[in-house]
Structure 1
Amino acid sequence: MATAGLLLAAGAGRRFGMPKALLSYRGQLLVEHAAAILTAAGCGPVVVVLGARAEQVRAYARLPGVVVNDDWATGMGSSLRAGLSALTSSAAEATVVTLVDMPGLTPDAVRRVARDATADSLAAATYQDGRRGHPVLLGRDHWPGVVAAATGDRGARDYLQAQGDGVRLVPCADVADGTDVDLPEQAARFRLTPG
């Protein structure tokens, strides 16, 4: 069954001081690294949602399918809606959603969350102390509900919380680091630098 990859990379990185998509990581832009993780995990198609400084990101990064979210400033919810809309014409039964600012994510974690994906699947990675994080798996049957609930910076969080035990929790701390890099101080840990 086809599982798509959806990378949310549209934010301006206000707390960070620049769009995190434009950070350099291991010789490439962080957005390229994150998209490559989804591809290496076997996701297809892979869609990258850009927004802030989208033209600059596109000029410097080699990316698979790109969607530009003109409403990126309203928050992550609009990027999730744009990405899911772009995937509706695909044959994917589900999509793995992740964020650009997770340099410690691995293909193993993505594969683990995507395992046994069906159109009615919901799953979320967990890390230390059971903390939920990305990636999350959204089966196609759930996309309309996620789109309706995705507002501001909440993304799919409210929708997933409303599903309670219907969300399969997938321990990933042994194969990935679920840290979202939100502040410049965190960037040093991963050796992220302005691109």
Structure 2
Amino acid sequence: MPEVVVGAVLAAGAGRRYGMPKILAQQGEWLQSAVRALGDGGCDEVVVAMGAATVEPPLGARGLMVPRWSDGLSETVRAVLADVAARPEVAAVVLHVVDVADVDGQVVARILDVADGRRDRLVRARFRGVPGHPVFIGAAHHAGVRDAVRGDVGAAVYLRAHADRVIEVECGDLARGTDQDHRRG
């Protein structure tokens, strides 16, 4: 059975600071961009985690409903990891957020290249020294991440607790990697 890397777009939130669910931002362009980045970058499958708003997933992706999305980002991460938990062929999940529109397939490919499909790896993009997304979480860490996430914080708590195992990969030459929390006027 071939190993599978699942790319996940985290897009279930209401986007309170932004003023609307970011899955809908820019007429869906951010979502299209995130799905394309994961697919072009080498993920075998792409899933879009949604909740506050639901949309037809872009071509090449499937939707994943997050029933408790209002409990925060942790529930979105937990739902993605639960979705792959019963699939022994899943070697890793690559978490990406919908509101980092300038990250493309080159960034994802760089992360996947360093991760080398290893189930024991934790690999995180860094942009000019600042940690960001995407984040490769090998299957050996899925249960630990599920247990560590709380409230509106995703895998960052687990990554900090295992900082000695996280490989940070500079990607600032490819993108800014800045998330869009507020609309530009």
TM-score, with structure 1 as normaliser: 0.87
Please say if residues 9 and 100 of structure 1, whose CA atoms lie closer than 8 Å, have aligned partners that are also in contact: yes
Equivalent residues in 2 for 1:116-131, closer than 5 Å: 116-128=116-128, 130-131=129-130
Task: Provide the C-alpha distance between the structure 2 equivalents of 1:63 and 1:151, rounded to a whole number of angstroms.
Answer: 30
Task: Provide the C-alpha distance between the structure 2 equivalents of 1:108 and 1:73, rounded to a whole number of angstroms.
Answer: 32
The counterpart of 1:95, out of the listed 93, 96, 102, is: 93
The counterpart of 2:25, out of the listed 16, 23, 26, is: 23
- The letter of the residue matching 1:11 is G
Equivalent residues in 2 for 1:127-166, closer than 5 Å: 127-128=127-128, 130-166=129-165
Task: Provide the C-alpha distance between the structure 2 equivalents of 1:36 and 1:98, rounded to a whole number of angstroms.
Answer: 11
Tell me what 1:107 maps to: 105
Cα-to-partner distance string for 1:18-66 (whole Å, 9 max, x where unaligned): 11111126xx532122111111111022111001122xx23x8546121
Task: Provide the C-alpha distance between the structure 1 equivalents of 2:31 and 2:134, rounded to a whole number of angstroms.
Answer: 15
- The letter of the residue matching 2:38 is L
Equivalent residues in 2 for 1:17-56, closer than 5 Å: 17-24=19-26, 28-54=28-54
SS in 2 for 1:24: helix
Tell me what 1:2 maps to: 4
CA RMSD of aligned residues (A): 1.6
Tell me what 1:172 maps to: 171
Q: Which runs of 4+ in 1 moved over 2 A?
A: 60-63
Tell me what 1:191 maps to: none
Task: Provide the C-alpha distance between the structure 2 equivalents of 1:117 and 1:171, rounded to a whole number of angstroms.
Answer: 19
Q: Does 1:14 align with 2:16?
A: yes
- The letter of the residue matching 2:49 is V
Please say if residues 30 and 98 of structure 2, whose CA atoms lie closer than 8 Å, have aligned partners that are also in contact: yes
Q: Which runs of 5+ in 1 are unaligned?
A: 189-195
Following superposition, the deviation at residue 2 of structure 1 comes to: 2.7
Task: Provide the C-alpha distance between the structure 2 equivalents of 1:101 and 1:33, rounded to a whole number of angstroms.
Answer: 9
